[in-house]
Amino acid sequence: MKLAFSTLGVPGTSVPEVVRLAAGNGYQGVELRAHPEEPVHPGLTPGERAAVAEEFRRGGVAVLAVAGYARVAAEGDDEPVAAELAGLVELARDLGAPYVRVFPGGGGLDPAEAD
């Protein structure tokens, strides 16, 4: 894959439009922002996921990654974070994406105090 872009730069854009933008501008792949206010998110049904995957396949555009918001290094209980990560991994699997990207979420830490 030579070129890909993230839907972080085109918030709320429909899947058909993302495929059209990617294919029409020479992109081979996309990273999909997976958030409840986006067209693609972990709450999609299996049928909706299959339709999204098919749309990208028909357009000749690969889903490179799913970008989620699990804060893997944030303080607090790990169980909700693990469940959120599992949902993102399942979404990526269903869309044929080999990667999931998340944010560390451990804010407020001073690197000088990490020793």
CATH class in words for 4-103: alpha beta
Please, what are the averages of pLDDT over each run of 10 residues along the chain (115 residues)? 92 98 97 96 98 98 96 90 96 98 75 52
Predicted confidence at residue 107, as pLDDT, reads 67
Full-model pTM? 0.88
Residue 38 CA: distances (Å) to CA of 34, 35, 41, 107: 7, 5, 7, 25
Predicted confidence at residue 74, as pLDDT, reads 86
Length of the chain: 115
Q: Phi/psi of residue 67, each to 5°?
A: -100, 115
Predicted confidence at residue 115, as pLDDT, reads 46
Fill in the amino acid letter for 4: A
